[in-house]
Amino acid sequence: VKRIPVITESHHYDVFLDAGLLAEAGALLRSELKLQGEKLVVVSAETIWRHWGEALARSLDIAQLQWHSLLVPDGEQAKNFLTVERAAEQLVALSADRSTILVAFGGGVIGDMAGFLAAIYMRGIRVIQIPTTLLAQVDASIGGKTGVNLASGKNLIGSFHQPECVIIDPLLTNTLDDREFRAGLFEVIKCGIITDPSLFQLLESEPDRILAREPAYVTRCVEASVRIKSGIVSKDERESGLRRVLNYGHTIGHALEADTHYSHFLHGEAVAWGMIAAAQIGTEVGISDEGTAQRIRNLILRYGPLPPVPDDSARIAQVTFSDKKTIDGKTHWVLASRIGSVEICSKVSFGVITNAITHIQKISQAQ
């Protein structure tokens, strides 16, 4: 079992990672958290529970842990206060107290909601993350960001609440549908672009094996990404500076998601287009050379297809100015100087942004 530390000011914990690790989750929790009869409440959703509930249940039972399951509605629409409030009422009904530990067992939606519930239930109880989507394994489960959506915007309510540990079994991604799996891979590609040329090369040289989800290859992709996210979060828990590099491709990605009312792209797909656009911006402002941009573009398209880009580039460019990562009215663009290294640039003109969006529209039409 790989053990990857996350060391933040508020909490030190480990990410445990191995193919097949779900079967040992119970034993791992018992030994690592030194449990002595504390109650666990597994927060999950129907689909996830249908695929993997029995395996988790067996592992918790073998370790003789005391646990309950609490299934909540899944999906971005259900990621709201009401779902959290209802789950909190169910915790009360289960006699959950301050020693109870939540186990978030699902994708990023479940992880964010259960993490938030743990952050506020009785002013804060412990949570363990067991992510089941590729996106949640490489990104959402690590770093302690938790929250829910408001009608007026995504993730506007939330809290930092670091987990006690994160247990990652890359084999859980086997039951994801193809689009969800590829959407997660785009975040893996992002990790390669921002800090890891050898991960980028692996993605370039083995697309068939990775897309076929050969366990050894999926595990390598997940491990490399987890090391990057854990390392960055350890240096910058609250996203004051360094953590921003994780937003590579996200400025235009978020604009595409918002412009299409979050119904057209999966997050990773929007980020995929955003990364191609960012690579183009990088060459236009002279931060990166054309060769780098081309490698980024080719790699992303190899893991496509992607849903088409809507056709009003000025309108989408406008949305980038209202991105919530804007600071003092300035959009901070993360741009790759070469594979594995990025720079922050706040001087990108409206024209350059519009051109980059026109660029991805052209690629989209040719796809």
Ligand X SMILES: NC(=O)c1ccc[n+]([C@@H]2O[C@H](COP(=O)([O-])OP(=O)(O)OC[C@H]3O[C@@H](n4cnc5c(N)ncnc54)[C@H](O)[C@@H]3O)[C@@H](O)[C@H]2O)c1
38 is catalytic: no
Alpha-carbon distance of 149 to 77, in angstroms, equals 8
Taking the complex as a whole, how short is the minimal distance between the CB of residue 139 and ligand X, in angstroms?
5
The secondary structure of residue 136, as a DSSP letter, is: I
Q: Which is nearer to ligand X, 21 or 348 (CB)?
A: 21
Out of 101, 136, 202, 270, the residue judged to bind ligand X by CB under 6 A: 136
Is residue 172 part of the contact set for ligand X (CB under 6 A)? yes
Is residue 230 part of the contact set for ligand X (CB under 6 A)? no
Single-letter amino acid, residue 222: V
Residue nearest to ligand X (CB): 108
Q: Which is nearer to ligand X, 112 or 259 (CB)?
A: 112
Alpha-carbon distance of 293 to 275, in angstroms, equals 9
Alpha-carbon distance of 33 to 240, in angstroms, equals 30
Q: State the catalytic residue, choosing from 30, 39, 154, 243.
A: 243
Overall size of the chain counted in residues: 367
| Number of residues lying near ligand X (CB under 6 A) | 28
The total of other beta-carbon atoms located within 10 Å of residue 239's CB is: 16
Q: State the catalytic residue, choosing from 24, 79, 126, 145.
A: 145
Q: Which is nearer to ligand X, 45 or 293 (CB)?
A: 45
Q: For residues 116 and 91, is the Cβ–Cβ distance under 8 A?
A: no
Taking the complex as a whole, how short is the minimal distance between the CB of residue 209 and ligand X, in angstroms?
20
Q: State the catalytic residue, choosing from 187, 223, 257, 269.
A: 187
359 is catalytic: no
Single-letter amino acid, residue 246: L
Binding mask 64-103 for ligand X (x = CB under 6 A): ----------xxx--x------------------------
Alpha-carbon distance of 314 to 126, in angstroms, equals 45
Q: Which SS3 state, helix, strand or coil, does residue 38 take?
A: coil
Give a three-class secondary structure readout of 105-130: EECHHHHHHHHHHHHHHHHCCEEEEE
Out of 19, 32, 57, 180, the residue judged to bind ligand X by CB under 6 A: 180
Q: Which is nearer to ligand X, 47 or 260 (CB)?
A: 47
Q: For residues 10 and 44, is the Cβ–Cβ distance under 8 A?
A: no
Is residue 155 part of the contact set for ligand X (CB under 6 A)? yes
User: Please, how many CA atoms are within 13 Å of residue 105, restricted to the half-sphere of its CB?
Assistant: 30
Alpha-carbon distance of 191 to 187, in angstroms, equals 6
Q: Which residues are marked as active site? A: 123, 145, 187, 229, 239, 243, 247, 250, 254, 267
Binding residues vs ligand X (CB under 6 A): 45, 47-48, 51, 74-76, 79, 106-110, 112, 132-133, 135-136, 139-140, 143, 145, 155, 172, 175-176, 180, 267
